């Protein structure tokens, strides 16, 4: 039964901007309030509280009050409180807590659940030590412990209570907390069986993983991760262990630093019969050799007993602007050329020693698209550059003899106008017959223009992600874009991509931090060439909630991204050499100048064969090549 006292504080208080004093107490506010009427109570009307102020002097702070989880400011100063209830941790929206001038001897460990807390005022109490859970208060900016009988250790860290001292103290307690309160490792990620392999198909596994370069893994960016778990040596060991466990046939990595590729990852994975290609970001071109070794980039590793590399190619989007356009527009120069993102690709041929299905060619490309949400147009442009160059690379390779192809440069020529060196691939380019896998960190949500362009095959120039710059990029002047690709108000490409990890397929998010949680990493494959046989589910979200994990990296998770792992089957026969527009899911639209009705039938059949439905019994089977230990 709710007491009269508790009911009497169910007030509707108008919100006012909250001010605070740096090291004393929270400012008093003038508050207008009234009791809710019985009708409002019966109708379930929510109170508009944001602040609770208790004075008395009060000797006991009831845990019942901690049911008011919506309040953001709690002022309980100038009382006779000797303890705070464990239920205090329920006030998860609390931003300011003033418990100064009481008789508190300690704080409950649940104080660590108040991760939104910015001001914690505890002066004039009897506090000696602090719980290690204080280290979870990553947003804490104002912390007053003056006039407390602090232990020598706490007093030394607190010092004069300056901002720098507070940050060091929080970091110290965080490191200590996770060192002695490490939760059990997450439950194993479950394998999701989506289809059974065909007798004549070629099944293989592919991993896509953004490693979080040590260049970006700073305490400022990831304040919720203890220093020792953020350290690259610690994370690198965990990453390599994860790679060894999954033992994918092809591994695509982003944010791998040059020195780490050369000194660690390549030699370590060579022991497991992997070879590799690597492309660092374009900024290394302006650096001294020593500094350039710290630049991160993209890499592809493959098992040499299963695949032979026929050719590799490089995409440097900064340089693509000048090769694609003889006279880049100012917006292209100022917005796109300022970003040095890259992608790298390899054309493989399967070896006959692997299950008797050798001699099949396919392409894998992985990249890292610009991160900034305020530059969504740059993300779209980089993706357009990627697909246009990719089509041209494949076209050039397939029109060259096998021996001559080995001498091809991994980049398109930039010494002469592109159109005079490499012809624009036509609608009947042999590139249409090349199986392609495109994967990486696209830094784009599923509803973004980047993902829409890749999966639907087209994008309107008026799409919101262009930020009203669509027509200013002058796509009709781009050297590698066919007239067909830029007709009207829409941009198009000729790949027909399906997406692994589509809706409700075991992966709702690939990036998990304190400030952002979402899907931004992808594996796409040409639907007429591949079938998706299985994929690795994400770590159960419930585990993160139960363990109160604020974000990644974490003690048990070495990156802020999760590795994607899929099993694909290269289907035994390819479609006729032709081209097509990427049709909507489960529907094929015919482009009359590129292909006929027979193509429509083939693509539809391919889509039917790639049915992702599965039963509960199939849900947790191992991949067909049994790569898990």
Q: How many domains does the chain have?
A: 2
What letters, b where the CB count within 10 A reaches 16 and e where it falls short, cover 288-327? eeeebbbbbbbbbbbbeebbbbbbbbbbbbbbbbebbbee
> Domain of 66: which CATH number?
3.80.10.10
Beta carbons within 10 angstroms of residue 501's beta carbon:
23
Share of the chain above pLDDT 90, in %: 63
DSSP secondary structure of 62-81: -GGGGG-TT-SEEE--SS--
Tell me if 602 is assigned to some domain.
Answer: no
Is-contact 268 240, C-beta < 8 A? yes
271-310 residue pLDDT tens: 999 999 999 999 998 889 999 999 999 999 999 999 999 9
Label residue 36 by pLDDT band (50, 70, 90). low
Label residue 134 by pLDDT band (50, 70, 90). very high
Which member of 113, 175, 395, 441 is catalytic? 441
Listed residues 529, 546, 575: the one ending a domain? 575
Tokens of 273: 């019969």
DSSP secondary structure of 497-532: EEESS-TTSS-S-SEE-SS-EE--EEEEEETTTEEE
Listed residues 575, 593, 623: the one ending a domain? 575
Residues 35, 134 share a domain? yes
Residues 160, 36 share a domain? yes
Query: Which residues, in sequence order, are CB contacts of 470 under 8 Å at separation 6+?
Result: 377, 460, 461, 462, 463
| Separation CA 325–CA 419 (nearest Å) | 10
DSSP secondary structure of 594-619: T--HHHHHHHHHHHHHT-----TTTT
At how many degrees (to 10) do helices 376-398 and 449-456 cross?
A: 30
| Separation CA 139–CA 157 (nearest Å) | 18
Tell me if 609 is assigned to some domain.
Answer: no
| Separation CA 532–CA 331 (nearest Å) | 39
pLDDT, residue 405, reads 64
Q: Residue 160 catalytic?
A: no
Residues 262, 158 share a domain? no
Residues 212, 70 share a domain? no
- Check pLDDT > 60 for residue 502: yes
Tell me if 109 is assigned to some domain.
Answer: yes
- Distances in Å between the alpha carbon of 602 and those of 72, 196, 533? 60, 20, 20
Residues of the chain by 3-state class (helix, strand, coil), percent to 5? 30, 20, 50
pLDDT, residue 423, reads 54
Share of the chain above pLDDT 70, in %: 79
Query: Nearest 5°: phi and psi at 352?
Result: -65, -20
Query: Which residues, in sequence order, are CB contacts of 451 under 8 Å at separation 6+?
Result: 442, 444, 445, 499, 522
Tokens of 309: 């590399």
pLDDT, residue 42, reads 72
Mean per-residue pLDDT for 312-340? 88
Mean per-residue pLDDT for 62-84? 93
Residues 388, 257 share a domain? yes
- Check pLDDT > 60 for residue 22: no
Is-contact 517 555, C-beta < 8 A? no
User: Among 78-82, 266-270, 468-472, whose mean pLDDT is lowest?
Assistant: 468-472
DSSP secondary structure code for residue 101 in this structure: S
Beta carbons within 10 angstroms of residue 190's beta carbon:
13
| Separation CA 87–CA 22 (nearest Å) | 27
Residues 168, 277 share a domain? no
pLDDT, residue 417, reads 37
Tokens of 59: 């000797």
pLDDT, residue 10, reads 37
Tell me the residue range of the domain where 50 lies. Answer: 4-180
Listed residues 558, 575, 592: the one ending a domain? 575
Tell me if 458 is assigned to some domain.
Answer: yes
- Check pLDDT > 90 for residue 254: yes
Residues 175, 248 share a domain? no
Tell me if 626 is assigned to some domain.
Answer: no
Query: Which residues, in sequence order, are CB contacts of 285 under 8 Å at separation 6+?
Result: none
| Separation CA 231–CA 555 (nearest Å) | 11
383-399 residue pLDDT tens: 999 999 999 999 999 98
Mean per-residue pLDDT for 397-415? 68
N-to-C CA span, the chain: 56
pLDDT, residue 352, reads 74
- Check pLDDT > 70 for residue 420: no
- Sign of torsion over alpha carbons 135, 140, 141, 142: negative
pLDDT, residue 1, reads 39
Residue 9 sits at the vertex; the CA angle it makes with 7 and 11, to the nearest 5 degrees, is: 110
DSSP secondary structure code for residue 286 in this structure: G
Mean per-residue pLDDT for 455-461? 95
> Domain of 371: which CATH number?
3.60.10.10
pLDDT, residue 550, reads 93
Residues 275, 350 share a domain? yes
Tell me if 8 is assigned to some domain.
Answer: yes
Tell me if 583 is assigned to some domain.
Answer: no
User: Among 98-107, 126-135, 466-475, 592-601, whose mean pLDDT is lowest?
Assistant: 592-601
| Separation CA 253–CA 274 (nearest Å) | 13
Residues 213, 156 share a domain? no
Tell me if 390 is assigned to some domain.
Answer: yes
Residues 570, 469 share a domain? yes
Residues 123, 253 share a domain? no
Label residue 223 by pLDDT band (50, 70, 90). very high
Query: Nearest 5°: phi and psi at 555?
Result: -50, -40
Q: Considering the chain, what is the average pLDDT of its residues?
A: 83
Query: Which residues, in sequence order, are CB contacts of 476 under 8 Å at separation 6+?
Result: 483, 486
Residues 245, 98 share a domain? no
- Check pLDDT > 60 for residue 12: no
Mean per-residue pLDDT for 136-147? 95
Label residue 44 by pLDDT band (50, 70, 90). confident
């Amino acid at each position: 039964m709710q007491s009269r006292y508790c009911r009497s504080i169910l007030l509707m208080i108008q919100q006012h901007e909250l001010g605070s004093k740096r090291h004393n107490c929270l400012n008093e506010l003038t508050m207008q309030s009234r009791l809710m009427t019985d009708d409002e109570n019966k109708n379930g009307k929510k109170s508009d509280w944001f602040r609770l102020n208790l004075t008395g002097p009060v000797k006991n702070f009831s845990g019942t009050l901690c049911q008011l989880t919506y309040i953001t400011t709690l002022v309980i100063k100038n009382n006779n409180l000797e303890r705070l209830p464990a239920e205090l941790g329920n006030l998860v929206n609390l931003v300011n807590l003033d418990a100064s001038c009481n008789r508190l001897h300690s704080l409950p460990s649940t104080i660590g659940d108040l991760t939104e807390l910015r001001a914690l005022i505890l002066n004039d109490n009897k506090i000696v030590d602090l719980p290690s859970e204080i280290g979870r208060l990553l947003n804490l900016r104002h912390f007053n412990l003056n006039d407390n009988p602090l232990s020598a250790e706490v007093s030394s860290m607190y010092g004069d209570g300056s901002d720098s001292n507070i940050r060091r103290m929080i970091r110290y307690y965080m490191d200590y907390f996770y060192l002695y309160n490490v939760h059990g490792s997450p439950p194993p990620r479950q394998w999701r069986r989506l289809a059974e392999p065909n007798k004549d198909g070629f099944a293989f596994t592919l991993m896509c993983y953004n490693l979080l370069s040590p260049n970006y893994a700073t305490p400022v960016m990831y304040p919720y991760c203890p220093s020792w778990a953020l350290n690259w040596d610690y994370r690198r060991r965990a990453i390599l262990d994860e790679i060894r466990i999954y033992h994918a046939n092809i591994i695509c990595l982003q944010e791998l630093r040059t020195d780490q590729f050369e000194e660690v990852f390549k030699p370590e994975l060579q022991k497991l019969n992997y070879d590799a290609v690597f492309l660092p970001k374009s900024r290394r071109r302006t650096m001294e050799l020593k500094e350039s070794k710290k630049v991160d980039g993209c890499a592809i590793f493959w098992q040499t007993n299963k695949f032979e590399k026929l050719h590799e190619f490089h995409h440097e989007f900064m340089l693509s602007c000048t090769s694609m356009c003889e006279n880049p527009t100012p917006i292209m120069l100022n917005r796109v050329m300022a970003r040095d993102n890259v992608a790298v690709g390899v054309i493989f041929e399967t070896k006959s020693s692997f299950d008797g299905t050798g001699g099949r060619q396919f392409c894998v490309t992985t990249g890292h698209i610009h991160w900034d949400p305020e530059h969504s147009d740059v993300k779209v442009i980089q993706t357009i550059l990627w697909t246009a160059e990719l089509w041209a690379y494949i076209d050039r390779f397939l029109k060259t003899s096998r021996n001559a192809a080995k001498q091809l440069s991994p980049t398109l020529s930039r010494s002469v106008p592109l159109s005079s060196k490499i012809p624009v691939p036509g609608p009947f380019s042999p590139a249409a017959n090349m199986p392609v896998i495109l994967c990486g960190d696209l830094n784009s949500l599923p509803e973004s223009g980047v993902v829409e362009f890749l999966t639907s095959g087209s994008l309107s120039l008026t799409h919101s992600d262009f930020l009203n710059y669509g027509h200013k990029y002058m796509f009709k002047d781009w050297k590698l874009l066919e007239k067909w690709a830029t007709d009207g108000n829409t941009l198009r490409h000729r790949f027909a991509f399906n997406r692994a990890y589509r809706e409700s397929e075991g992966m709702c998010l690939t990036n998990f931090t304190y400030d952002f949680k979402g899907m931004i990493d992808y594996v796409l494959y040409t639907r007429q060439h591949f079938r998706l046989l299985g994929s690795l589910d994400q770590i159960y979200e419930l585990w993160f909630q139960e363990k109160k994990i604020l974000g990644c990296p974490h003690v048990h998770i070495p990156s802020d991204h999760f590795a994607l792992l899929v099993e694909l089957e290269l289907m035994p026969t390819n479609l006729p050499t032709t081209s097509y527009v990427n049709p909507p899911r489960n529907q094929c639209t015919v482009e009359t100048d590129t292909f006929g009705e027979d193509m429509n039938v083939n693509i539809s059949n391919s889509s039917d064969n790639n049915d992702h439905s599965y039963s509960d019994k199939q849900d947790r089977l191992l991949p067909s090549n049994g790569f898990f230990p």
